[in-house]
Amino acid sequence: MACYLDLGTPIRVLVVDDHPAVRDALVRVIASSSGAMVAGVACDTEGAIGLAEKIRPDVALLDVRMPGGGGDRAAREIRRRSPETAVVALSAYCDRATVLQMLKGGAVSYLSKSASAEEIMRAIRRAACGVSTVSPDVVAQVASGLARQMEAIEHEPEKEQVVIDRIRDALSAGQPAVVYQPVVDLETGEAVGFEALARFVVEPGQSPSVWFAEAAAVGLLIDLELASVQAALGQIDRLPPHAFLSVNVSPQAVKSRRLQRTLAGSSRDRIVVEVSERALVRSPEDLSWSLCWLRRAGVRVCLDDAGADLRSLHRITQLKPDFIKLDIELTQGIDEDETCQAITSLLRRSAVQTGTVVIAKGIETEAELSTLRKLGVPFGQGFYLGSPQPIDAAPGEVRHRVRASPSHGEVTPRSLDHARSRRIIGYGRESPPWYPRAMTGMDSG
């Protein structure tokens, strides 16, 4: 870039600010200085971009915060359309993020609006010669922000080690504990299975989701999950003999041979492995091969949180789960939401065709229960049917509200499809011994 001071040519400056008083003051500063002239004035981003392309100024003096996309967008577009134009940012915002955003956008200099007229003109002249300028107060604030960030990075290993030690201490103390929530046949009121849910009774008193999220962040997720699975399997013989046991694992655990070793020697024909659809960040194909050994070993598969997005049907087709659990957002308030009813009906019809059994979780009211039964959903789970309980209380805690619900004699999608969906659940495989009598196709249909 030519230095206009050396050439003796006035520096042509485009002034851009959405505040009229500031804009007028900048115009006066430039007009009263030797070696510079105001080539144009704009009050917003679009105006700055268009005018810069038209007049090709030597320097564009830009306000950082203005309508139409802000100074960073204006800087990018001006540099793209008029590469010879040097951009000087002028702002009352001197935080690190804003400064870096403008510099990334193409600004060569960044001045605080508290800068004097002499400092502004010095920055304009230096920019015209290709030299950067940053106000001292801006440098101080950016440096302070960088120092805080570096300090946080420096202490990150210490914080991570604290989490690692906490999780390992919990594992050594026999955590997590497990409670069991019943999965109920919505027609008969029978508990056909139980989901094992992790609980932590050690400090700090934080939710299981936080424990597992922290474990994932420090590489101990599989350790914590498998400890939960082992705790659940240790009590399977205390559940009703016909009931299945559902355990929750991540896709990472499914792909780990450690899960195979954990399940070895257990009553695998009674085990259902649940994987949340929300955890499938990649395509279903990435997980399907890892589920093959589960099925070969007699373990059943459940896709949790089904219906969370429009890709659910594709995932169900690819993974061919034995069960799907409806996302709780579909279940809660379904009696008053026709859209949720339509999605649930679509998933149920698809499940019948593919031999998959639908479970609605999060049932909390009689109205939700009644609606789900009318939609033909065979199984359900939620506080209205039974809350999570320790093993000693879980089997006997199942409430009999379902039995009191009016259904017999009604012609509903459930009464029409119930037998068929249960006959094809194994899609050609022999039904395991824990399936209730109706699930083996022995109901009248």
The pair of three-digit structure tokens given for residue 64, joined into one six-digit string: 């950082």
Out of 142, 161, 191, a domain closes at 142
Other Cβ atoms within 10 Å of 6 Cβ, number: 8
Domain residues for the domain of 138 are 4-142
Pair 201, 314 in one domain: yes
What's the rounded Cα separation, in Å, for the pair 136 and 253? 53
Residue 321 placed within a domain: yes
The pair of three-digit structure tokens given for residue 95, joined into one six-digit string: 């935080």
> Is residue 427 a contact partner of residue 316, using CB atoms and an 8 Å limit?
no
Pair 319, 423 in one domain: yes
Mean pLDDT in the chain? 80
**Mean pLDDT (whole number) for 59-74:** 85
Pair 186, 110 in one domain: no
Out of 142, 164, 187, a domain closes at 142
Residue 41 confidence (pLDDT): 94
Pair 77, 220 in one domain: no
What's the rounded Cα separation, in Å, for the pair 61 and 48? 10
Q: Identify the residue with better confidence: 406 or 333.
A: 333
Q: Which residue intervals of 82-187 are DSSP H helices? A: 96-105, 117-128, 136-172
* Count of residues making up the chain: 445
The pair of three-digit structure tokens given for residue 344, joined into one six-digit string: 């649930």
What's the rounded Cα separation, in Å, for the pair 437 and 10? 93
Render pLDDT for 317-344 as a digit per residue (tens, 0 to 9): 778 889 999 999 999 999 999 999 999 9
Strand partners, 86: 59
Residue 67 confidence (pLDDT): 81
Number of folded domains that form the chain: 2
Pair 183, 239 in one domain: yes
Residue 146 confidence (pLDDT): 55
Residue 445 placed within a domain: no
Residue 1 confidence (pLDDT): 43
Confidence of residue 395 (pLDDT cuts 50, 70, 90): low
Cis before 204? omega within 30:
yes
Given a cut of 70, is residue 2 above it in pLDDT? no
Pair 181, 289 in one domain: yes
Closest CA to 125 of 76, 58, 49, 71: 58
- The pTM (predicted TM-score) of the whole model is 0.60
Pair 426, 354 in one domain: yes
Out of 96, 123, 142, a domain closes at 142
CATH of the domain at 217: 3.20.20.450
Residue 19 placed within a domain: yes
The pair of three-digit structure tokens given for residue 348, joined into one six-digit string: 């149920």
What are the φ and ψ backbone dihedral angles of 196, each rounded to 5 degrees?
-85, 125
Pair 321, 434 in one domain: yes
Residue 29 placed within a domain: yes
Give the list of residues 6+ apart from residue 272 with CB closer than 8 angstroms, or none. Answer: 193, 244, 245, 246, 247, 299, 300, 301, 302, 322, 323
Render pLDDT for 336-367 as a digit per residue (tens, 0 to 9): 999 999 999 999 988 888 889 999 999 999 99
The pair of three-digit structure tokens given for residue 270, joined into one six-digit string: 């009674």
- % of the chain beyond a pLDDT of 70: 79
- % of the chain beyond a pLDDT of 90: 37
CATH of the domain at 132: 3.40.50.2300
Residue 149 placed within a domain: no
Residue 160 placed within a domain: no
Residue 403 confidence (pLDDT): 45
Residue 416 confidence (pLDDT): 35
Residue 215 placed within a domain: yes
Pair 184, 103 in one domain: no
> Is residue 326 a contact partner of residue 345, using CB atoms and an 8 Å limit?
no
Pair 38, 181 in one domain: no
Pair 423, 324 in one domain: yes
Render pLDDT for 220-271 as a digit per residue (tens, 0 to 9): 999 999 999 999 999 998 888 889 999 999 988 988 888 888 888 777 889 9
Place of tokens 């039974």: 386
Residue 20 placed within a domain: yes
Render pLDDT for 93-147 as a digit per residue (tens, 0 to 9): 666 677 777 878 888 888 887 788 888 898 898 888 888 777 666 555 655 555 5
Pair 138, 178 in one domain: no
The pair of three-digit structure tokens given for residue 370, joined into one six-digit string: 């009644």
Query: Which SS3 state, helix, strand or coil, does residue 178 take?
Result: strand
